[in-house]
Structure formats: C-alpha cells, structure tokens
Structure 1
Amino acid sequence: MTAPYNKPLPKLDALTRPFWDHARQGKLAMQVCDDCADIHFPPTPVCPACLGDHQSWQIVSGDGVLESWIDLHRAYWPGFTDDLPYRVCIVKLAEGPLLASNLVGPSEGAKLHAPVRVIFEQVTDEITLPKFRLAGG
C-alpha cells in the first residue's frame, strides 16, 4: 500500500480472522453451524440458532439485496473527510445473513431490495474490505 490508511480498521482475533483471511483472497465467507447448518454473521463461538459449538466457514455467493442505506454528509473520523458524502448500507445476502458495509459506485438506482454484488477493496496488507455495488445496469 502506498498511502497509509487512516480510517478505523477491524481488530482481528481468533473468531474473526477467517472472515478477513477469506476477504483478502477476494472471497466472502460466513460462519456456518456444523450441527444445524445455520449461516450467520457476525461470527460467534456458538451457533445463535441451536447453541452448537461446532462452527466452520463457508464461501457464499456475494449476491444480495439492499435492505437499507444512508448517505453520510459528516465525517465522524477524519479519514472519511475526502469521501463525503459516502453511503453506508445493510445488505441481506442471498444466503440469509445481514451485513453492514458501503455501497460504492454509481447508485442512482438504489432502491429497497435492489440487487447488489460484493466487491473487495484492499486497504492494508492485512485487511481487505467487502463492499457492495448495485448489480447489473
């Protein structure tokens, strides 16, 4: 990376590291319960559906629909000043989990349940952020 990244970054730990390792490879992965097959996010030490403690990771499609979004016109962290306004969104993945992210690219067609597709932005050597674009058009 040439310029330092000056926005907040996630803290990697044993529970979240697989998510970020997959993202660095350009893959979106969700935790899945080996006992009941519930796919969930964020990762948890036990399944939120059955409380089983056998968890693994599954690559998901990266397809979803826009559930909500907001345009932020204020930089709550200095690193966002040059991005104003920027769009934060909630995406419902095709596999079910909700994911908070950014909606990037042309978004004049943003509407409830508009189809979106994941993209990845490498921001440091260790962190690649999943973001979303409107699909098609």
Structure 2
Amino acid sequence: MLDPVVDDTGAPFWGYAAQGELRVQSCADCGELRFPPRPCCPHCQSFTSEWRLMSGHGRIWSYVVPHPPLLPDYAAQAPYNVVLVELEEAPRIRLVGNLVTAPGAPLNSLDPHRIRIGAKVHAVFAEGLPQWVLS
C-alpha cells in the first residue's frame, strides 16, 4: 500500500482518517467547505479554517478500472477500481478512493462489473486510509 503524501495543510485530514473520521476543511468565517485543503478560502479569502465531521455517505460520481495497473505495486491486485465519490452533505466535494467489500479488504475484493455511477456508498477506514463500501 502506498502512503499518502502529507503536507501541513492536509495533515489534519489524514490525522482524522487515522481515527476513523471523515472530516473536510471548512472556512471558520463563511462556513464554505473545501477540498482539497488549502490555506485560504476561495469564497471569502479568509485564512481561518476548521475541520467539519462528515457523515461519510455519498454516491459514486465516476470510476475507472486501470488496465494495465497504473502503479507497479498494485499489479498483483488487478483488476482494481478507483472511484470518485461525491459527498452527500457537500455535492461539490469529491473524494478519490477504492470501492471494497469491507474495511481493509483487498482493492480487488469487489467485482468491477458491480460498480455503477450513482450508487450509494459510505466511508470505511483501513490503516488510516478512507475506502468506500456499497450502502
């Protein structure tokens, strides 16, 4: 498994994920949710932020099954999927992850033919990484 690249601005996201929480950065002044995390609010230009707990519910907005696998470290798990999930509370925010059958299941645990755009999913966590399962 590859480790995420953690910068100062995004570090809280990964810290919360390690605790099993899906949180998204929001502006402490205007309340605008934003992802990926960044120092300044694109809506009001404030530099104050907080991390809002999300329900973890969303829907598949798009997906891909790479052929051949894009990363050599994942070749043994092919075919695997990469999904783009639109959050229920914040439809403009979309998170990338993998759709699996259960928390910590292998990336290839779900038959790619079962994936449908619009399918409802919810976040689960394994080793500090958010993953998605069908709801």
Q: What TM-score comes out, normalization by structure 2 length? A: 0.85
Tell me if the contact between 1:73 and 1:86 (Cα under 8 Å) persists in the aligned partners: no
Tell me if the contact between 1:72 and 1:86 (Cα under 8 Å) persists in the aligned partners: yes
Summarize the alignment of residues 1-137 of structure 1 with structure 2, pairs less than 5 Å apart.
5=1, 7=2, 9-96=3-90, 97-105=93-101, 106=110, 108-122=113-127, 128-135=128-135
Q: Displacement of 1:13 after TM fit?
A: 2.2
Q: CA RMSD in A?
A: 1.4
When residues 113 and 10 of structure 1 are mapped into structure 2, their CA distance, relative to the original with a 3 A threshold, is same
SS state at 2:30 partner: coil
Of stretches 99-108 and 62-71 in structure 1, the one that deviates more from structure 2 is 99-108
Report the count of equivalent residues: 124
Q: Which runs of 4+ in 1 moved over 3 A?
A: 106-109
Amino acid at match of 2:129: L
- Report the identity percentage: 35
Amino acid at match of 1:119: V
- In the alignment, the residues of structure 2 paired with residue 103 and residue 30 of structure 1 have an alpha-carbon distance, to the nearest angstrom, of 20
SS state at 1:72 partner: coil
Q: Displacement of 1:26 after TM fit?
A: 0.5
Gaps of 5+ in 2: 102-109
Tell me if the contact between 1:65 and 1:92 (Cα under 8 Å) persists in the aligned partners: yes
Of stretches 25-34 and 108-117 in structure 1, the one that deviates more from structure 2 is 108-117
Tell me if the contact between 1:63 and 1:93 (Cα under 8 Å) persists in the aligned partners: yes
Q: Displacement of 1:77 after TM fit?
A: 2.0
Amino acid at match of 1:28: L
Q: Displacement of 1:109 after TM fit?
A: 4.0
Q: Which has the higher strand share?
A: 1
- In the alignment, the residues of structure 2 paired with residue 49 and residue 99 of structure 1 have an alpha-carbon distance, to the nearest angstrom, of 20
